[in-house]
Structure 1
Amino acid sequence: MKEKLKDREVLLVKEKDSNKLQAVTGLNEDGTPSTVKPEQKNEPDFLKIDKHGDALENFMSNFLSQCKDPTHFHFFKVPLNALGNVVDVLSDMLKDPENPSNKKFIDEIRVLPEAFAKKPYEAIDESRIDWSQFEKLGITKDMIDKNSLDKMLNWQKTPVLLPIKAEIGDTVIRTDARLSLREAEDGKLGLVVHAVRKEPQLDGYVYGTRLSEEDKQNLRQTGQAGRLVEIEPAKGQKMQAFLSVDKLTNELVAVRADRIKIPDEIKGVALNEQQKKDLSEGKAVYLEGMTSKNGKEFNATVRIDADKRSLEFKFDNANKLSQERQQQDKQTQSHPQEQKFRIPAKLLGVELSKEQQQSLRENKTIYVTGMLDKKGEPFNAYIKVNAEKEKLDFFKWNPDRAKKQGAEVTPDNNSKAQVAVNSEGKTNEATKKNEEPLKQGQTQPTEKQQQKQEEKKVVKSRGMKF
């Protein structure tokens, strides 16, 4: 047993602005190291490094491909059987790392992630940034917060949208955009603007290739192509790539497949060969029994997101992916309107329960209370899918019951007038001069509202202004 311990090591990590050492256990879903205190009681959770194995190489490859800011973490490799002593000594040395004797020991046990990269990783030196490029777009250095700057220095896009103002001749263009930095062939650092698009540009050539109709449908519905796409960004440079939609800008983002390393396990769940193969081909995999940071188990559909360059988790613990597809197929066969109309999860400020959503899918009527129109006034209504017009209809009475009784079914005029006036700006002879929102149940202005309008007419006829 002692001989085995001599051949095994533990990976310690500290954050950039801290000297607190933690023992690495794996990777979080965002690519950052998951850790525990480097104490003997936590030994079963440690990421064990066998001198003759590839655990360290696999960890570092995944860390580099998934972590947005690799330079924020500093790693050290120490013997498992001497962990307690080394942690105490190293903690003291890190307080004075430039001391020659301390530096020598620290460098000996330091692990550099870039040593495991296919090409050396190097963060951007802030001094290389030409801020005048930003100023031409109306962006000052003060507008870039620390988080956004760190992302840009690590070759990432800003995590938030920034207001851009560009002047082209006499024309001023305003839009929101994410920003990133890219290095040209001559080594010069340039600013890249990722402007917001109304929708993903899926027609024509995308990275030198044309997308299939299935690709387009997948990108619109899930934000992912669902397979590896052969792209040709430059003539004669064909490559397999993951393709995703940037959810903030609707920009299409591609990343070479060989730049993404598929992990052996995700959140404590070991992947079998078929699951690894599916992920490497851009497909989604449903995993059960994963463990979150707070120790709770969860299930999710997992796939590679090219924009994040990491795993994307879609949380739906009710059904497995295959079950979801089977259910969708059944619904499509039974209710073809589902192909055209998507049932919302939230309607005018009210969260619809799963039972209510399912009822709408099955062409049943639901009753919803507490909805708000655009003026903030509450109203209640029976709701049913209008498959022909691909929308939801609002009713005062239950349309299913009214049909059984032979009555004529029409949308609820009670709610219809309120919503039409308050939310859609429509008027009739009774409401066109009314400036106040209708209350629940109103179809025309009250006597008090009409009196107020008459008073304003008298004032206006006398030429008085306020």
Structure 2
Amino acid sequence: MEQKTNDQEVLLVKEKNESKLKAVVGFDNDGKLITEPPKQANSDRFLKIDKNGYVLENFFTNFHRQYKNPTDFHFFKAPTNLVEKTASDLEKMLKGPENKSQKEMLAKHENKPEDYIKKDEKQEKPNLIDENKVDWEQLAKLGVSKDFLKNTGNLDAMLNFQKSPDLIPITVKTDNLTIRTDARLAFRQNEDGKFNVAVHAVRNRPELDRPYFGVTLTNEDKNNLIQTGNAGRILHPQYKEGETTPVFLSIDHLTNELVAARADKINIPEEIKGVKLHERQQKELAEGRAIFVDGMTSRGGNEFSAWLQINADRRGISFRFDQQKEQNQNANDQRQVHIPNSLLGKELTEEQQQKLEKRETIYVTGMYDKEGQEFNAYIKINDEKSKLDFYKWNPDKAQTKGAEVTPDKNSKTQVAVNSEGKTNEATKDVKEPLNKEQVNPTEQQKAKRNRSKTHSM
């Protein structure tokens, strides 16, 4: 997925007994750290950090496996477009780390491996896939060896039904053609019980305009996927004819592939990083929406805040560390205007729901007010107030600026009396709710009103 350069960061490292910082490029075939001088001209080759924390988590997990003394290294983050200047500034600060202001600035830029390494990484667990059942020859035909996967920290994940945490360079050869590309690899079991290699190649961009198993992505879905990597709601694709499955939909941050996870297979936690989630937060997570949580505690004991959301690629909670919290909160509030399947007793069609999601106006007939009487209205989302507004005419075609906004003319009197508690001269003594299009009392209501007046005299 494309990302603006000024939103990206790179990882700098200072080794023990060295005064200069270097930029991290990655790992070599033996799992050793590759670094380069942090020159601006070389920034395209440096390891890029994403705001979701995936790259750092994978990097530090692999780093922990390869190095016996990880405390000999100190890591810092720097904006890609300011990497050379930031490295120079940090080097100066490291010469006087006890200075209070410099100490605070160093802490702001530092990335500690223990904050990203999972607690259970140190505990050896049996793999779910038997290595003897893997077709290693098929893997070798792609130019990838078992040792390479092991040394780069990708093998364990693959042997536990996960995709490789990193992109793997592969080579596909035919009679007259050689194709080289990067891909995430996984093992998938065939009918014979053996495990073949599944290739998830890098795409230039996510395929968002093509229906996903019968589901047409709305503009809001597309924007959410591009901005956060997640659709932001539950989708219902049709993998089998006549049968839909509720899923979370996300973008693989390395390959740009659309990835789905069944909603009933994802656990919504009651507590995360020391913070208990209340019922509304759990509900919003279960619906695919993002929530902002303050006061969480990292593995290193540091307090932090982040956006939390279910990510289908990770099969669980993802963390997003956005710098512009207020801007994203406003955008999130807009996304959280709930589009209902039915409204006041009237089932909305898929087309009507999609129009609302696109912030278009719809006309709905056969709704029922608080007194159970039927009425019609134009409806449009009010993002400012995070609610649905009802109009008596199409607001997109309104001629008069500041015109009154009420249900359509056929239901104006009915809704005013039944739902808003208003009255007029003709209906002021009518106790029963009015019907659709009713502006005057019925003969029966007139008789009741007259009897009531006679009784009170």
Do the two structures share a fold, i.e. TM-score over 0.5? no
Higher relative contact order (CA 8 A, sep 6+): 2
User: Shorter-chain TM-score: which interval?
Assistant: 0.3 to 0.5
Q: What's the TM-score, normalizing by structure 2? A: 0.44
Q: What's the TM-score, normalizing by structure 1? A: 0.43
